[in-house]
Amino acid sequence: QVQLQESGPGLVKPSETLSLICTVSGGSISSTYYYWGWIRQPPGKGLEWIGSIYYSGNTYYSPSLKSRVTISVDTSKNQFSLKLNSVTAADTAVYYCARRIDGTSHYTWGQGTRVTVSS
Amino acid sequence: QSALSQPRSVSGSPGQSVTISCTGTSSDVGGYNYVSWYQQHPGTAPKVMIYDVDKRPLEVPNRFSGSKSGNTASLTISKLQAEDEADYYCCSYGGSDTWVFGGGTKLTVL
């Protein structure tokens, strides 16, 4: 059974870059059956889709975050990553990495990691 | 691309049924059969309950069902149990390789 685990700094300063890694175990990130993505949840609020990547490197981003987001994949480490630049307090959230089965709306989630933007 | 619209809260007594709606547009919910529903208990990650409008993962009880009519998708939970109390989120394909979530609904089991 696949497991996804987020890792990265829990505190980021305003205007800096938020960087997170998702490590996939129990399955290959190079599988043609899945897309890999990031979703966030600000404190006390709903979920927001950030973007996703296919193992080939094709990326897809939320229009509202596209100018600040980069998602990349490292197949040799079975990991994919998120970079969000020029962060503000509004980017404070729990960040989840997730796997979506291609051709469906089925997401499987990591446990999430809390990131606070503060000086 | 706006968030899908869900009621902020719904409630029901044990044994009853409740339905949570998720309203979008013809560009998302109404345009594709790619709607999923997630259950989230406090402090935990969301868990898929329904995907592709009405498909249920094997591990999800058949008390959970999904449907769609026009631009509105619905999640129905029958025979409510105490452990169903949680937040529920809908998610839809939004076109152009993007996805959009609803604002979430808090289900209270009375």
Q: Tell me the pLDDT tens digit for each residue of B36-95.
A: 999 999 999 999 999 999 999 999 999 999 999 999 999 999 999 999 999 999 999 999
Judge whether A49 is closer than 8 Å to chain B, CB to CB: yes
pLDDT of A32: 92
pLDDT higher than 80, residue A43: yes
- Residue B68 parent element (H or E): strand B64-69
pLDDT of A51: 97
Q: How confident is the model at residue A46 (pLDDT cuts 50, 70, 90)?
A: very high
Residues A49, B100: contact at Cβ < 8 Å? yes
Residues A22, A81: contact at Cβ < 8 Å? yes
User: Which of A47, A63, A109 minimises the CB distance to B101?
Assistant: A47
A54-73 residues touching B, CB cutoff 8 A: 60-64
CA distance A61 to chain B (A): 7
Q: How confident is the model at residue B2 (pLDDT cuts 50, 70, 90)?
A: confident
CB pairs under 8 A between A and B: 65
Alpha carbon distance A51, B96 (integer Å): 12
Neighbours of A1 (CB within 10 A): 6
Task: Let me know how long chain B is.
Answer: 110
Burial status of residue A41 (CB atoms within 10 A of its CB: 0-12, 13-18, 19 or more): buried
pLDDT higher than 90, residue A25: yes
Judge whether B18 is closer than 8 Å to chain A, CB to CB: no
pLDDT higher than 80, residue B1: no
A48 to chain B: closest CA residue: B101
pLDDT of B46: 94
pLDDT of B62: 96
**What are the pLDDT digits (tens) for A72-100?**
999 999 999 999 999 999 999 999 999 99
Between chains, do B99 and A49 touch, taking CB under 8 Å as contact?
Answer: yes
Arithmetic mean of pLDDT, B27-40: 97
pLDDT of B17: 98
Q: Across chain A, what does the average pLDDT equal?
A: 96
pLDDT of B61: 97
Q: What distances in angstroms separate CA A19 from CA A15, A66, A70, one per listed residue?
A: 13, 15, 10
Between chains, do B100 and A107 touch, taking CB under 8 Å as contact?
Answer: no
- Owner of token pair 């497991």: A3
Residues A49, B99: contact at Cβ < 8 Å? yes
